[in-house]
Structure 1
């Protein structure tokens, strides 16, 4: 069955909204903009970071993870997400998967690199898309020994 023009436009708008959520995750975290970061999550969202950090529920859990655990551990970070694929489950639920690469310095100045996959459940409520669940599958979390990451001088 062929989709109507209206259905195709709605799907494109949905894809763009989901790309914005994935981008705002990176921008919010890296620029330390908690308002931007928290705005991508539903109040009952689940963020499954897993070892060594743990899993977090709701805005309170997300806020705790970022403010009390992750930002203190990272002096600087830059996230890059790629390969976002989305699969509609229903009119208001989409499953997504993308890869992430993060590079930065720990709070002690040690250069770090992380590669992971994000598996997402996006939900639209009252016409707004946000993340309902994000599972992080880490592939590596490694120090970059002998390398100093610093701004150009």
Structure 2
């Protein structure tokens, strides 16, 4: 069995560094530590949480200001999984991660969303930063009222028939 070369080791280290940024994002958003959260992004980042102007930001400072809207929630809990990293250069990567986010209002009602973050990461110096983020929604409960980009799912073939287990007729 051959030993991994230095490029394999570097890629493994970079994947973990990118995953660490994603975890830190969730921790900082749930704590509402917006200055530290904004530092995870490039100064000129482009972030789209949805089509509404209030959900779009250009630049880390604008993102920090925009995310103040999250103070309307008493508590949140953001979880990421299914992380896929595709390196597009030595210092660039496309990253997809699934998000499950729970939100609680002051009156105790909740809202939950399921979706994907589609990110472009850049290495700046020795640190990976998010340069672009787009959120696409795969589903939500009735408590979630924010307009998010829909997830682009391939439609079923025209001749597909639902299996008996799913039929309601």
Helix, strand or coil for the counterpart of 1:50?
coil
Question: What is the TM-score when the length of structure 2 is the normalising length?
Answer: 0.76
Q: 4-13 or 41-50: which moved more? A: 4-13
Partner of 1:36: 36
Larger Rg: 2
Cα displacement (A) at 1:3: 9.6
Q: Decide which structure has greater strand share.
A: 1
How many Å apart are 1:4 and its aligned residue? 5.7
Give 2:85's aligned residue: 86
Relative distance call for 1:8 and 1:63 in structure 2 (3 A) is same
User: RMSD of the TM alignment (CA)?
Assistant: 1.9
- The aligned residue for residue 101 of structure 2 is 102
In 1: Cα distance, 2:104 partner to 2:51 partner: 19
SS of 2:141's equivalent in the other structure is strand
Matches of 1:75 and 1:43 in 2, distance apart?
29
4+ residue stretches of structure 1 with deviation over 3 A?
none
* Alpha-carbon shift at residue 107 of structure 1 (Å): 4.2
Query: Under a length normalisation based on structure 1, what TM-score does the superposition of the two structures give?
Result: 0.84
Change (3 A) 1:114 1:60: same
